[in-house]
Amino acid sequence: MSTDKIIFFHMNQLGDLLFSLPTLMAARKQWPNAKIVSVAKNNLNELLKATGFVDEVLVKPSSGFLAKASLIKKIRKENFTKAICFSESFETAFYCALSKAKEKIGFNTASVSFLLNKKAQKLGVPSLSNNARLAQGAGLVNISADYTGLIKIPQSNKSSCTLWLSQNKLIEGNFVVLSPGASKRRAKKKWSDENWVELAKEILEQCCPVVFVGASWEKEKLQQLAALSGAYAFWAQEGVLSLAALINASFLFCGVDSGAMHLAAAMCKKVVALFGPTDPAQIGPMPLKKHTIIKADTLSKILPDRVLKEIKLARGHNAEVF
């Protein structure tokens, strides 16, 4: 299959992109001579490149007719043999239809799915299991059940992280990361600021330093939480791989159901995850048995003391401090 060219159309959220990595790995192993191209939002491109599974990443524009027309031109020029769509959006279906690929594979629930000539069954929300069925529909085999260890952090990001830790007098492996944020549209997944502040204070008093982490647009909120609790604040101003490097240097990650939670699990970090109405069996940090899930009907029912107990237990049942 040395002449094959495969294009993947990714979803826009970090967690959803991480769910696609086992499929990309399987494609690289099964079709080693094929050209593999991914289409994704600009903020996720560096993560895709860091896996080593793709030969090229094309930027999916957020808006602008000329930018979208330019992307279509690049896609059509390649004469792809397979187009595999993780996304179900109309826009993705449109790009896929214009790709000239002989095989167009996506989910049966996709918008205008009649534009696809192969369809995989989708059950529930985006997940590793759904993507595995999609990959099988594309002819892939030996698909990993989780995403751990598939991201390689570049040395530049590691060095920046080491410098930040040194400037803040933090020791690698001796601090806890707290991630309070979820996407702007998913307020149901958020824990209250008061709870985060109380938890951070308790960890600082009984255990070790704390770093609140998030995206660059969360900078003000992270600084506020840090100021109220005595913790540190880190926002990923250099991109998602800078966040991955900081999480990788921590002892443990604690956060709500979010892309950052999946990033921590992908970095093989111990995760204490707070879940409300969403189902951790389907979209929890993988592999689920290696992490701690604290679930309630609503996040407001989860108290900081319960979370603190799990964080302390993660270091050893009899440990009073880290």
Closest CA to 275 of 266, 235, 262, 176: 262
**What is the tens place of the pLDDT at every residue in 81-112?**
999 999 999 888 889 888 989 999 999 998 88
* 280 preceded by a cis bond (ω within 30 of 0): no
26 and 131 together in one domain:
yes
pLDDT over threshold 70, residue 268: yes
Query: How far apart are the two ends of the chain, measured CA to CA in Å?
Result: 52
71 and 201 together in one domain:
no
Within a domain: residue 148?
A: no
**What is the tens place of the pLDDT at every residue in 19-39?**
999 999 999 999 999 999 999
Residue 211, judged by CB atoms within 10 A of its CB (0-12, 13-18, 19+), counts as: buried
180 and 270 together in one domain:
yes
What is the pLDDT at residue 62?
A: 87
Residues in the chain, total: 322
SS3 140: coil
- CB 213 within 8 Å of CB 240: no
305 and 227 together in one domain:
yes
Strand order in the sheet with 210-215: 232-236, 210-215, 176-179, 252-256, 270-275, 292-295
Q: How far apart are alpha carbons 158 and 142 in whole angstroms?
A: 31
Within a domain: residue 175?
A: yes
105 and 217 together in one domain:
no
Q: How far apart are alpha carbons 102 and 213 in whole angstroms?
A: 44
121 and 159 together in one domain:
no
Distance of CA 58 to the CA centre of its chain: 19
Tokens 């958020």 correspond to 190
Q: What is the CATH number of the domain that holds 87?
A: 3.40.50.2000
186 and 107 together in one domain:
no
Total domain count, the chain: 2
The structure tokens listed for 213 are 């982490």
Q: How far apart are alpha carbons 272 and 290 in whole angstroms?
A: 10
**The whole model's pTM is what?**
0.93
100 and 194 together in one domain:
no
223 and 99 together in one domain:
no
What range defines the domain where residue 29 resides?
A: 5-137
What is the pLDDT at residue 114?
A: 85
Which range, of 30-39, 51-60, 278-287, 313-322, averages the lowest pLDDT? 313-322
Within a domain: residue 171?
A: yes
Where does a domain end: 109, 137, 165? 137
Within a domain: residue 43?
A: yes
Q: How far apart are alpha carbons 41 and 60 in whole angstroms?
A: 5
Within a domain: residue 233?
A: yes
Within a domain: residue 88?
A: yes
- Please report which helix (H) or strand (E) contains residue 177, including its range: strand 176-179
pLDDT, mean over the chain: 92
Within a domain: residue 253?
A: yes
57 and 86 together in one domain:
yes
Q: How far apart are alpha carbons 140 and 175 in whole angstroms?
A: 40
165 and 279 together in one domain:
yes
What is the pLDDT at residue 243?
A: 97
In the DSSP assignment, the letter for residue 314 is T
